[in-house]
Amino acid sequence: MALQMRQDLRMSTQLVMTPQLQQAIKLLQLSRPELVDLVRSELMENPLLEEAHEIGTSAEEPVSSVELQDAVDAPQQEAAGGEPDRSAPEVKVDEVPKEGADWEAYADSMEYLPPSAGSTTRTNNEDEEGPSIEATLTRAETLAEHLMWQVRLSNFGETGEEVAEYIVRCLSPAGYLQESAPQIARKLGVSTLKVEMLVRKIQQLDPVAIGSRNLAECLWVQANHPEHPVEDPLVRAIIAKHLHNLEIRNYQAVARDTGEALEEVYEATKVIMGMDPRPARAYGVEAPQYITPDVYIIKVGDEFVVTLNDDGLPRLRISGLYKEAVGEHPKAKEYIHERMRSAQWLIRSIQQRQRTIVKVTRSILKFQREFFERGPQHLRPLILKDVAEDIEMHESTVSRVTTNKYVHTPQGIFELKYFFNAGISRTTGDDLASEAVKERIKKLIDAEDEAHPYSDQRLVELLQEEGIDIARRTVAKYREQLGVLSSAKRRKLF
């Protein structure tokens, strides 16, 4: 078959991802801290953007922001042959002021300010004071800094300090030495005996047993520390030979092998349990990351109100400082027009993001009202498709909006993704959300007899008595997700 060239004319419909549409989609999936960082970055890069410091207008005079069409869903609806939402006035993306136009009036109309106190958002209280300078915390001392401070105050010698510094760098987050003494000796060109002596010297520093090679050595060092030694020989015998029996709570085997009474084994075990298996625990705690909710659900009387949280979000508007440059220099005019379009789309995309979060939250409130009224046990099965159909948006849009977004409710703070769960069948007919089943399993375990904890099979039977049809392997999976040990490891005999 001979190859030939020819021209064809074809018609097709496809969705084109313009840069502006890509930006709107990107903003949807950003978390609140990421959005603040992006806005701060844009304020630095775009000279036409500025932060408005004054409070928004009153309820009688709403902010005159240009409303954005649904930047994400309208193109998808048009591509599918549907009609986009025309509830907001049509906006032309490349709309910029012409020469001789009232620049200040136009700039004032393009701003993103949090809505007024009379609407459904929260704004900053100018009267609130931030924390004093004395209340701010400095950076906490690291484990390496704490150890090296002690090394320099001790008699390690110049060479010893260098080896000790390398040993400190080889510690794991739990405080264990991750390299053997021969490996360290070869790398530093010193004898293995010298490394062993320095390791034992470091183990006597604070925290005690830092630099141990394994759990047995860690506990042994603590039991033999000069300041508070453990005199009981049974404790030392258990550390030396029976840690594996302690792990599985086989106290009878320890008593049988040591020839001691079971009660004595219990008392020795209590002493060992008071030791710290992770010497660096106090220095491995990261600073808490506080969650700021994106939206509030507040109960007012018998109704729930969805309220946006704009606290901490920079309030944007178009600057009027560059109006003189528009009519003077062609290159400056072109640059300003480009920056103007970028600023317009950023402001509009933020507006669209906030409106979409409110839409999704209101839909979740409609489906999960029992949860907000009565708690997690009444969480219903819900999928993205249900919310997407309710608000007439695509599932991918709902997925982006609910990722890394948090809502403050009367029941606590939750990620919006929390409200989407698979269903567990019930004999009564109504399905129950998987999170509700987890909550019920947790309550059963919290109320159990510690000496006779429930097995997974017993939990299945108790749930079936409540009409929840669930398999044992599912209970085991949910228990592990809750961070709960098996019944054998939960049993407490003393």
CATH number, residue 474: 1.10.10.60
Residues 188 and 309 in one domain: no
Residues 252 and 372 in one domain: no
Angle at 69 between CA 66 and CA 72, to 5 degrees: 135
> Which of 250, 283, 316 is the endpoint of a domain?
283
Residues 312 and 331 in one domain: yes
Residues 226 and 337 in one domain: no
Residues 158 and 273 in one domain: yes
For residue 72, is it within any domain? no
Residues 401 and 304 in one domain: yes
Residues 381 and 487 in one domain: no
User: Which residues constitute the domain of residue 344?
Assistant: 20-48+293-421
Beta bridge partners of 121: 308
For residue 330, the tally of other CB atoms under 10 A from its CB is 8
For residue 357, is it within any domain? yes
For residue 451, is it within any domain? yes
For residue 253, is it within any domain? yes
For residue 113, is it within any domain? no
> Which of 377, 392, 421 is the endpoint of a domain?
421
Q: From the DSSP assignment, how many helices (H) and strands (E) are in the chain?
A: 21, 10
Residues 149 and 268 in one domain: yes
CATH number, residue 261: 1.10.10.1330
Q: How many residues does the chain have?
A: 494
For residue 130, is it within any domain? no
pLDDT of residue 337: 84
pLDDT of residue 138: 65
Provide the 8-state DSSP code for 48.
T
Angle at 386 between CA 29 and CA 433, to 5 degrees: 95
For residue 120, is it within any domain? no
> Which of 235, 255, 283 is the endpoint of a domain?
283
What is the per-residue DSSP string for 176-217?
A: BB-S-HHHHHHHHT--HHHHHHHHHHHHTSSSTTTTBSSHHH
Residues 274 and 320 in one domain: no
Residues 377 and 465 in one domain: no
Q: How far apart are CA 262 and CA 245, in angstroms?
A: 13
Taking the alpha carbons at both ends of the chain, their separation in whole angstroms is 88
Place of tokens 């944007």: 316
Beta bridge partners of 299: 304
Query: In the chain, how many domains are there?
Result: 3
Q: Is 50 left (phi over 0), alpha (psi -120 to 50) or beta?
A: beta
Residues 417 and 312 in one domain: yes
Residues 148 and 195 in one domain: yes
Structure tokens at 309: 């949280």
Mean pLDDT by 10 residues, the chain (494 residues): 78 74 82 89 88 50 33 37 41 43 51 47 48 61 90 87 92 92 92 93 93 93 89 91 88 90 92 92 76 92 90 82 64 82 88 92 93 88 92 90 92 92 76 86 90 90 87 91 87 76
For residue 6, is it within any domain? no
